[in-house]
Structure formats: structure tokens, C-alpha cells
Structure 1
């Protein structure tokens, strides 16, 4: 395995503006309290709050009402616990405990019921149910259908990540990029933001190849940037679900050179995003049957993706302690991890 030399995260030169909701810090505190209430976290709550999910929510949500910021921050808090607890099970070889949790979540998402009764449901499940009910209540039928589709894909991608651990399961760069669009957990979060903003892109526009290409570019830019920020932790614990590590392995270059390669890929992807945005609106305008109000909705959706790209970058650089934490950089589990969380009956 290549050695990880000291490196600084490059400036990815994202050509977008950003502003943060003035009550983002309050939302961070409320989301932390929500996670404690649901027993997703019981120790090291200050370290957990240092992730800054409320700050991220405040950067990517535009001008939505404060309660929508809190809801998104709570979903993000749940998502971080989900990711970290799944990583814990990979480390301890206890992945058989994961399936009942994800099966219950997907069953509830599809039917509104959890299936088999439990005397004490798992906190990941009870937290999801609380969030899911409130999220779906604020969504249109079209957006809700996308959210219902995105969550199982997100959960399935975590299974793919587990299979990729170790040299035997090392994915190709191309396969990893496709998986990362879901393991980033971005798509359900984007659904929540769009619902909060009242964005309801009609299916005939949403399904355009040009629209889908723009979404993919946005998620790639965010995900690949995150892979650079999170490289020390993932390298230290032997996790090869990272674009930098994979480029280093497949191309036989140093990790520092691979960081520069990812930086170059991000710059190319930004150019593709900008040209893709122009192409999308040319296609829409050429149709001649798109209502101006629908075009305005698409424009607001595109701007939301730009808020995500720059907002996620600024959050990781300035407001999130997760990637600067000594335990994280040493490849250790976070102090707030509950080893018994998934096994709670």
C-alpha cells in the first residue's frame, strides 16, 4: 500500500456563491439533542456535535424556514450515525446484524409498517421512522417517490462498501464512482432540501438525460472532494472506498500524486457541470412546450445543486471537526460510537 505523506486539501475552485442560515448553530444543537433523545449517541456528544451537521444543513438549504433546517440537520445526524455504525460492524465482522436493521427500514419506507414487533426497536430504526414520517409529510408525491427510491439505493451501497474492504474486493475506479453516488448519501438529502424549497421538478424534465447528467456531476464533485478530506481516516483503517486510494492502487502512483489526480478530475467535472447546465437549458428551451414556471423550478433546482457543491466544501474546511479529529486521522472509531447499537433488541 502506498504511504500517506503530508498533504493539504487543495482549493477546488468552485465558482459558486454561498450563504449560511443565521441559525445554523442552533440547528446543530437541536439535531444533537434529537440524536441523544433517540439514543443514537449516548457518549461524547460534543465530539458528535463537532461534525457540524447543522452548519452543513444551513449552507445547503437556501432560504427554507428554520424548522426545515432542523429536519435536514437531524436527517444528516442520523446518516452519520448510520455510516459510522455500519463501519463498526465491518471492523468487528458483525455484518449479519445489519440486515434486520435495513430490512426494517426499507419495509417501513414501502409500507408504513415495521413488520415483526420488537420489545425495544433499534435506535437507528426508531430514529428513521420519526424522520421519515416528517420528511414524507412535507413532500409532493413526485419527490416522495424519488426519496423512497433513493434510500434503499443508499443502504445497498453500504453493503457494496463492505464487500470492497480488503484487496480482494477492490473495485475499479469506474465501479466505485457509480457506487459513490449512492454511498455519499447525497440523493435523499437533496430530496429533503428540494421539498423544503418547494422544488417539484416534473418527471418529464427530471428524467431528461441532460438533467440526470447534471445531478451526477454535482454528486461526483461533492463526493470526490469528500474523499480527499476523509483520506487520512480511510487510509489509516485500511478502507479502500476512497477515490484517492483507488487511483493510487490502480495507477501505481503515490497518494500525494493521486490527490492531485482527483483534484484534476474535480476541475474537469466542474467544467462538465457548467457546460451541462447550459446544455440542459438549451434542451428545455428547444422543446417549446415547457411552461416558464417549470423552467424557473428547474433553475432553482440547479442553483440548489450549486449550494450543495460549495456549501459542502466550506463546511468541511471550516466547520466540521470530523476530518481534523485525531482519532479519525488515526483510523480509530469515533468516541461516540455505540458498540451495542445495532444489537439492541
Structure 2
């Protein structure tokens, strides 16, 4: 069960992460140093004290819009998302329909959609389809069901902690949620979530709180099942990536709460890589395909580089595909908005095109790294495991993009 010490530890970790991000330079390069961003009010390459923070302002005429220094606010969100590409073929797990049948009711029970429209929206997300596209090579239906349920649970609760008008705008509630989840993940297989009053959070025991506690109980039961099949090393890896995820979610909540500030491009990358929960998903991929990288292999510099490039391809694609919907409701916590806000004279279409180039760069980088790593490990005793791992991350890249484009969760035109 989580304690005040757990809260203090999470607070310290998140504060340290936040301080590190705010110390980064506000300039950024369009991937690997080819595109330098300058302040629109100065020709100097040295940032001023405010440079990491770009503010959103409210205009009576145009509503919420990004305000760039020395330039008028954006006139609107009229832009086209370029065609996105992944060099790896997308496929679907042959037992998708079986997995979907085993997961659909569980997902609805956790989400408890309040009306028919909300239920339809959840079904439109097609989470079992996403996981069966991301892990078409899962070695066990049971583990694929576990992975689908866990990622669905993260999806559902992420909508609470990440939504700008809901939990994500409140650091205290975000911390409360993080402590509850980490309490379960760090505890014994039968661990239960602590009650809200243990965190001194002023919640009423409302239907919303009861729903949250039911969701946490579902997580505890699911995690108990998974731990029986997951190695201690893989279990620790999953918990560690979830800790990093919540560190980033808290920093994200801080930005959203404080006058809708936006971080610099580089700081946003660091936040997004962890807040997106892609790294925990990659650990679930290991679990589902039946591999368990040793620590030396997992920490190998080239494999880390590949993992980051694959992760960036996934979340940058998501930012592009979802940004029109987000900008339409005044949510600017996405890469196109941040690129646009950081440079004078750039249209929103220009910013979108730059981010699309980033996606293509990540795709090319993964293709190049894949060939290099395969050549380097050909004689290694871990060669088969490494090939399976990297190929599985390639499946995540192609599967995620295919899912984004074939489901109605986001408008893509």
C-alpha cells in the first residue's frame, strides 16, 4: 500500500525531471542538427530567460490561439496532414477476433461509459485491434489478452489524467492517481489500491470515485494474473517504465495548469516519450512475444537508439493525426503546435510539414539501425532474441500507424 513516503518520492522524481527540462535550451534543431530555430525577436542564438515557455493567449475575436512573440495569433487550424509512411509491413494477429471477444466486455466494465455515445466512442477506439496489429507475433493468446487489457486500462485512465479539462490539469489529482497505480504495481499480486482519503485528497465518494476504485481493483486483479507469468526482471522493467511515465504525466499536468504554458521542442520530446506510455507498452510486447532481454542487451546503446527512434515515430504520428482535433478544442500540447509557436513566420501547415518530416526521419533511422544491429549481432548468442525484439518494435510502428488511419478515433483530413 502506498504511503506518504511514496508520494514524497514521486514528488521529488517529478520535480527533478521538471527542473532538468526547464534548464534545456529553447533552441531546437530539426532532427540531428539541420534546422535551427531562432527567436522571432532576436537574431541571437542564446535564449532569454523565458525561452523554454511559450504562452497561449485568449483572443475575443479568434478564441484560444497560440501567441508567438512579435507575431499575431494563428488565424485558424486549416491545414492538411501529409501522408505518413512506415517501411515495415503491418499485419494482424490471426486470433484477433478471439482476443477481441475476450476483451470487449472487460474494457466496457472498466470504462463504464455513461451513455450510448460514449460507449460507441470507446468501441470506435478499437483497442483490441490496436494491440493485435502491434503484436501480431504474440506467442500466447493468454498473454495477448493480458497485454490488450493492460493497454486498454492505460488508455481509459489516460483520458482522465491527460485531458486538459479533467484530471491532467490538476497536479494533486494526477499525483493521487499515480500513487494508487504504483502501489498496485509495486505490491504483492493481491495488492489493493489505497483509498482516496489516505492521500488527503478532498474527493467525495461519488459515482466517479467509485468508478475509479473499481478500475483500480480491475488493475490489481489483472496485474496479479500477469505477474504469475512474468519474470521478475520483466516485471521490474514494467514498473520502472511506469514510474517514468507518471513522472512525465505530472510535469505535463504542471504545464497545462500554469496558464497553458508550452515547453520547448526538446523538452516536449522528453516529456512525450515518457507520458505517452509507449515504453511500458514495449515491455508488454516482450511479455506477449515470449522474450526477456537481459539488462546488458536492453541497455545496449544501439538498441536504445532504435527503441527511441521507434517510439518517436509512434508518438509523432499520433501528434500529427490528432492535432487538428486537439487544436479545435484549444489543446496545444502536441508537436505541431509547439513547433508553430516556437518560430516566427511559420504557418501552421509549415509546422505540420516539419513534424511529418520528423516522422519520415525516424522511419529512415529505424531502417538503417535495423540493418546495422542485425549485422553486429549475427554471431551473438542473443541474436535470435534481439531480432525478435527489434522486429516486434517494427510491428508496433506499422501497427500503430495502420490503426490510427483505419479507426475513427481521430479525424485525419
What band does the TM-score fall into relative to the shorter chain? 0.7 to 0.9
Q: Retained in 1: the 8 A contact 2:127–2:148?
A: yes
Q: Retained in 2: the 8 A contact 1:52–1:321?
A: no
| Aligned with 1:74 (options 145, 149, 155) | 149
Which structure has more helix as a fraction of its residues? Answer: 1
- CA shift digits 1:183-206 (9 cap, x unpaired): 111111121121111111111111
Does the alignment pair 1:100 with 2:176? Answer: yes
Q: Equivalent residue of 1:122, what SS?
A: helix
Q: Retained in 1: the 8 A contact 2:87–2:367?
A: no
Aligned in 2, Cα 1:26/1:78: closer, same or farther, shift over 3 Å?
Answer: same
Unaligned runs of 5+ in 2: 1-65, 67-73, 197-204
| Aligned with 1:190 (options 282, 286, 290) | 282
In the other structure, the counterpart of 1:162 is 253
Find the aligned partners of 2:356 and 2:124 in 1 and give their Cα distance. 26
| Aligned with 1:36 (options 97, 108, 117) | 108
- CA shift digits 1:27-67 (9 cap, x unpaired): 34543311233354343322211101111111111232333
In the other structure, the counterpart of 1:269 is 362
Aligned in 2, Cα 1:241/1:127: closer, same or farther, shift over 3 Å?
Answer: farther
In the other structure, the counterpart of 1:332 is none
Quote how far apart the aligned CAs of 1:142 are: 2.0
Q: Equivalent residue of 1:189, what SS?
A: helix
Find the aligned partners of 1:37 and 1:251 in 2 and give their Cα distance. 45
TM-score (norm 1): 0.84
Q: Retained in 1: the 8 A contact 2:84–2:360?
A: yes
Does the alignment pair 1:17 with 2:92? Answer: no
- CA shift digits 1:175-227 (9 cap, x unpaired): 11111111111111121121111111111111111111110000000000000
Aligned in 2, Cα 1:312/1:89: closer, same or farther, shift over 3 Å?
Answer: closer
Find the aligned partners of 1:188 and 1:97 in 2 and give their Cα distance. 22
Find the aligned partners of 1:11 and 1:115 in 2 and give their Cα distance. 44
Superposition map of 1:1-345 within 5 A: 1=66, 2-38=74-110, 40-43=112-115, 44-64=118-138, 65-88=140-163, 90-91=165-166, 94-112=170-188, 113-114=191-192, 116=194, 122-165=213-256, 169-252=261-344, 253-284=346-377, 290-291=380-381, 294-318=382-406, 320-324=407-411
Find the aligned partners of 1:30 and 1:7 in 2 and give their Cα distance. 40
Q: Retained in 2: the 8 A contact 1:36–1:42?
A: no
Aligned in 2, Cα 1:88/1:95: closer, same or farther, shift over 3 Å?
Answer: farther
Aligned in 2, Cα 1:168/1:324: closer, same or farther, shift over 3 Å?
Answer: closer
Aligned in 2, Cα 1:301/1:3: closer, same or farther, shift over 3 Å?
Answer: farther
In the other structure, the counterpart of 1:335 is none
TM-score (norm 2): 0.71
Q: Equivalent residue of 1:163, what SS?
A: helix
Aligned in 2, Cα 1:167/1:265: closer, same or farther, shift over 3 Å?
Answer: farther
- CA shift digits 1:2-27 (9 cap, x unpaired): 34444443222211112112443453
Quote the RMSD (CA, aligned, Å): 2.5
Q: Retained in 2: the 8 A contact 1:227–1:242?
A: yes
Q: Retained in 2: the 8 A contact 1:35–1:41?
A: no
Quote how far apart the aligned CAs of 1:279 are: 3.2
Greater mean alpha carbon deviation, residues 230-239 or residues 243-252: 230-239
Structure number, greater radius of gyration: 2
Q: How many residues align?
A: 320
In the other structure, the counterpart of 2:48 is none
Greater mean alpha carbon deviation, residues 269-278 or residues 1-10: 1-10
